[in-house]
Amino acid sequence: MKQLDLLGNLRRTHYCGELRAEHVGQRVVVCGWVHRRRDHGGVVFVDLRDRTGLGQVVFKPDASPEAHARADVIRSEYVLVVCGVLERRADDAINPNLPTGEVELIADELRIVNFATPPPFPLEDDAPVEESTRMRYRAHDLRRAVMQRRLELRHRLHQSLRAACVEDGFLEIETPILTRATPEGARDFLVPSRLHPGSFFALPQSPQIIKQLLMVAGYDRYFQIARCFRDEDLRADRQLEFSQLDLEMSFVGVEDVLEVLEEITARAFREVLDVELARPFPRLSYDESMARYGTDRPDTRIELEIVDLTDAVADCEFKVFSGAVKSGGLVRALPVPKADEVSRGELDRLVALAQEWGAKGLAWIRVADDGSWQSPIAKFLSDDEREAIASRANLEPGHLIFFMADRESVVCDVLARLRSELGHRLGRVADRPWEPLFVLDFPVFTQDDDGKITYMHMPFVAPREEDIGRIRSHPLEIRSTHYDLVMNGIELGSGSLRNHRSDLQLEIFEVLGYAEASARERFGFLLDALDSGAPPHGGFAFGLDRLALLMAGGESLRDVIAFPKTQRAQDLFMQAPGQVDPDQLRDLGLRLRRKPDPAQDPGDS
């Protein structure tokens, strides 16, 4: 077995990426991993790497025969401690692409403190690596400079946000991880209790109710960087566990909360990216955002907007339009100017794509150079209807206009996706790197696919004061105090004012189908707290993973989380989830039942 060295009396004096010309002549000790080894005619060059960057180490036989001889055995990812004198490189050997490119360490002492198996993939930033391989060998993946830059950025983001909250008078208070299951929009992770067989804790989807109780208790301004857990299907911008900057304030209105959000967001971009965001942030109502962009998280840099044509085509001969309107749906369209490059084959592809998104079809009209309309549906439109469409959509020669007729939810979703697809495909995105936006006045209630009334965000959102008297009579028209912060089409977080009166909270529970007895059984602790003297309060939660991803420029949340789950909800590095010992299940009073195989005949089991 090869002999390993201990550190002895060597202690690091500099990080590898810190070495500069002003250190020339100093005796230096550096520690790190072998990034690359090169043997040039008996002189061995090693790029030594730590989290600050690369430094070049040179082993010369005339400087230290012993260190040079030992350098013969080192290989990629060996862990070294090297001592020597820093020298300036020859002019023709300077590497202008490295911050340390002017200097090199002439080694006279080498300690190999650990060996390493060859890495499973190249650790250079530009080396393409399949994501599942990166997740399986996460310790190697996290050594790559791009990952270390991203996690360092995340660290600086956390520090900026934390400092901003502390300086603004917020108290950092930790809230429980083991709590009670409450309806907050996603499936809870449940934790069985050994001491209370048959009972379960839930991991928090967010600290929502707890932070409201802190306001009732008089803490006035609370924040924490909170871990949250939601048992839902994964995608590029969603993980089972994630982090929020969670905050809450007492005796505030919507404007007070938005002022704090704008300030800490602008400060984070200034301190982390050296970017000054334009202020004040623009604002849109939910209704306007859905009407113009088809989504409540629009990328307003895309220079295309949706227009409503429902009244203009309500009685037209094209039954797809008129039929949708008669059945309570609507007709909206996306005009695209200067769209000559969209070929007929591309039109067919877009129609197929819309159908994948849930549309029954996608009608279109092309305006030719002579002003004529080219489309299978043009013959079904009267002159008045054409004039109304052309006027509302500002149609000119070269335009393409895409129509959707269906339920509002389908129309909005498909046209929003089409807007994004064509905006990027045709280069219709304004050259503005960062575009924040507040979206306000969301509905309190919505309907599920079965027509049942449910909450849009959560059941604790306070309605707009002027709408409170109509909660029972017109629930779907009630506007909330909810607000979202959106940037470049990404929802960075959301919040609202909360119900601070138990009678109003009970009224909302009633509309949601909870009788008072049922509401008190599930939320009695909250209702009792509100009755004990609750101040008006409101707050917000930033999705820190999404904010870090936006700033770092990665492709998925897995690029800014140290140990994420795959899209199949697995940690390939830790091999989780995994089996547990039967004795552990017995202690919890649990027994596993094999899930039936749907392909197997029931009589065979």
**Is the per-residue pLDDT at 270 higher than 80?**
yes
Number of H helices, E strands in the chain: 15, 22
Residues comprising the chain, all counted: 605
Which residue is associated with the tokens 């429980």?
176
SS3 of 221-255? EEEEEEEEECCCCCECCECCEEEEEEEEEECCCHH
Q: What is the pLDDT of residue 604?
A: 44
d(CA 361, CA 411): 11
Quick one: CATH architecture of 302-429? 2-Layer Sandwich (3.30)
**Is the per-residue pLDDT at 3 higher than 80?**
no
**Token pair of 518, please?**
């049922």
Closest-CA residue to 493 (of 548, 447, 432, 535): 548
**Is the per-residue pLDDT at 602 higher than 60?**
no
Amino acid present at 103: V
Q: Do domains 16-114 and 302-429 have the same CATH topology?
A: no
Q: Hey, what CATH class is 16-114 in?
A: mainly beta
Amino acid present at 418: L
Residue 233 binned pLDDT confidence (cut-offs 50, 70, 90): confident
User: pLDDT, tens digit, for every residue of 78-121?
Assistant: 999 999 999 999 999 999 999 999 999 999 999 999 999 999 99
Residue 286 binned pLDDT confidence (cut-offs 50, 70, 90): very high
Peptide bond into 207 cis (omega under 30): no
User: pLDDT, tens digit, for every residue of 251-269?
Assistant: 999 999 999 999 999 999 9
Q: Which phi and psi (to 5°) does residue 46 adopt?
A: -130, 125
Closest-CA residue to 385 (of 441, 321, 471, 326): 321
Taking residues 391-395, report their average pLDDT. 96
Closest-CA residue to 81 (of 70, 65, 95, 69): 70
Across 180-184, 268-272, 469-473, 581-585, least confident range: 180-184
Pairing label, strands 221-229, 241-250: antiparallel
Q: What is the mean pLDDT of the chain?
A: 93
Taking residues 8-35, report their average pLDDT. 94
Q: Which phi and psi (to 5°) does residue 352 adopt?
A: -65, -40
Closest-CA residue to 32 (of 68, 82, 86, 95): 82
d(CA 148, CA 154): 10
Nearest-Å Rg of the Cα atoms of the chain is: 30
Peptide bond into 298 cis (omega under 30): no
DSSP letters, 417-448, are HHHHHHHHHTT-B-S-S--EEEEE--BSEEE-
Closest-CA residue to 275 (of 494, 166, 485, 432): 432
d(CA 73, CA 112): 10
Q: What is the pLDDT of residue 386?
A: 94
Taking residues 400-428, report their average pLDDT. 96
State the sign of the Cα–Cα–Cα–Cα dihedral 372, 374, 377, 379. positive
Q: Which phi and psi (to 5°) does residue 131 adopt?
A: -60, -40
Taking residues 31-35, report their average pLDDT. 97
**Is the per-residue pLDDT at 134 higher than 50?**
yes
CA-to-CA separations, 478 to 366, 456, 497, 527, in angstroms, rounded: 40, 11, 14, 22
Taking residues 353-380, report their average pLDDT. 94
State the sign of the Cα–Cα–Cα–Cα dihedral 523, 528, 529, 530. positive
Residue 458 binned pLDDT confidence (cut-offs 50, 70, 90): confident
Across 170-179, 353-362, 482-491, 590-599, least confident range: 590-599
Q: What is the pLDDT of residue 599?
A: 57
**190 forms bridges with which residues in the sheet?**
202
**171 forms bridges with which residues in the sheet?**
222
Residue 605 binned pLDDT confidence (cut-offs 50, 70, 90): very low
d(CA 378, CA 546): 44
Taking residues 40-55, report their average pLDDT. 94
Element (H, E) at 360: none
Q: Are 84 and 107 in contact (CB under 8 A)?
A: yes
DSSP conformational letter for 14? S
User: pLDDT, tens digit, for every residue of 514-567?
Assistant: 889 998 988 898 999 999 999 999 999 999 999 999 999 988 999 999 999 998
Q: What is the pLDDT of residue 603?
A: 45
- Residue 92: strand, helix, or coil: helix
Closest-CA residue to 237 (of 597, 490, 433): 490
**Residue 236 or residue 495, greater confidence:** 495
Taking residues 460-471, report their average pLDDT. 93
Residue 346 binned pLDDT confidence (cut-offs 50, 70, 90): very high
Domains of the chain by residue range: 16-114, 302-429
Please name the residues in contact with 3: beta carbons below 8 A apart, sequence gap of 6 or more.
Answer: none
**Is the per-residue pLDDT at 1 higher than 60?**
no
Taking residues 272-281, report their average pLDDT. 96
Q: Are 524 and 221 in contact (CB under 8 A)?
A: no
